[in-house]
């Protein structure tokens, strides 16, 4: 009983494999640990292996090709139509096994390590660009808030004659004058200008 097609549902630690023979008989539908995966496929005669395309699927595809298997990766959204009932790893592996033999299925090219490395750089850059845009938007919002506070200070400053008097000194604007009045009050607690400056 030679297995001709295998559907492999990838995961972090436990993988599900569903294999069928040329007449469609189910040869196995079982789970394997990560450490068992390569040894399991090494024992099989070369066959067709289907997987849903993801980051790790390219790595496994390269490993299985070295063993002599034919590997095809499929977009997840195309495999979804082959899931017949509830969701489980066993059902997903069966759906992958069926989908990979569909003559109208669209497949994803298996990427080399170098291609995946370059794609990682692109994704990392895109993430940083998105973060920069978010920070930029936050800066704009903060800038508007700062302007609101400054306008409020200027309005308050116009109402206080002490602030208006301080503003006659070159280099002192409404914000600095307002801060001095709010901090020092009328200034009578200071014995001299030097003590105030200290």
Say if residue 61 is in the same domain as residue 24: yes
pLDDT at 35: 93
Tokens in use for 90? Answer: 């066993």
Say if residue 105 is in the same domain as residue 139: no
Say if residue 105 is in the same domain as residue 161: no
Query: Number of structural domains, the chain?
Result: 2
Say if residue 65 is in the same domain as residue 137: no
CATH number assigned to the domain comprising residue 37:
3.30.420.40
Say if residue 38 is in the same domain as residue 136: no
pLDDT mean for each 10 residues of the chain (198 residues): 92 93 93 94 95 93 96 94 85 94 93 92 96 95 91 84 86 86 78 79
Tokens in use for 78? Answer: 């195309």
Could you count the other beta carbons within 10 Å of the beta carbon of residue 144?
9
- Domain hosting residue 131, numbered range: 115-197
Stated pTM of the model = 0.67
Tell me the torsion sign for CA atoms 40, 22, 25, 80.
positive
Say if residue 91 is in the same domain as residue 167: no
- What are the residues whose beta carbons fall under 8 Å from the beta carbon of 9, sequence distance 6 or more? 15, 16, 17, 18, 52, 89, 92, 93, 96
């Amino acid at each position: 009983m030679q297995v001709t097609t295998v559907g492999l549902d990838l995961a972090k630690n436990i993988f599900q494999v569903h294999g069928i023979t040329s007449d469609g008989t189910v040869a196995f539908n079982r789970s394997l640990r990560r450490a068992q995966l390569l040894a399991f496929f090494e024992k099989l005669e070369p066959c067709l292996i289907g997987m849903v395309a993801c980051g790790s699927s390219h790595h496994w595809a390269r490993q299985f090709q070295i063993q002599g298997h034919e590997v095809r990766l499929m977009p997840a959204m195309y495999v979804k139509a082959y899931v017949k009932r509830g969701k489980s790893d066993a059902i997903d592996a069966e759906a992958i096994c069926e989908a990979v033999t569909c003559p109208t299925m669209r497949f994803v090219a298996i990427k080399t390590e170098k291609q995946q490395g370059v794609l990682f750089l692109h994704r990392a850059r895109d993430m940083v660009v998105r973060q920069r845009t978010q920070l930029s938007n936050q800066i704009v919002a903060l800038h508007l808030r700062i302007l609101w506070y400054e306008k409020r200070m200027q309005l308050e400053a116009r109402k206080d004659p002490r602030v208006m008097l301080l503003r006659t000194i070159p280099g002192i604007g409404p914000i600095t004058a307002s801060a001095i009045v709010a901090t020092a009050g009328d200034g009578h607690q200071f014995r001299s200008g030097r003590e105030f400056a200290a």
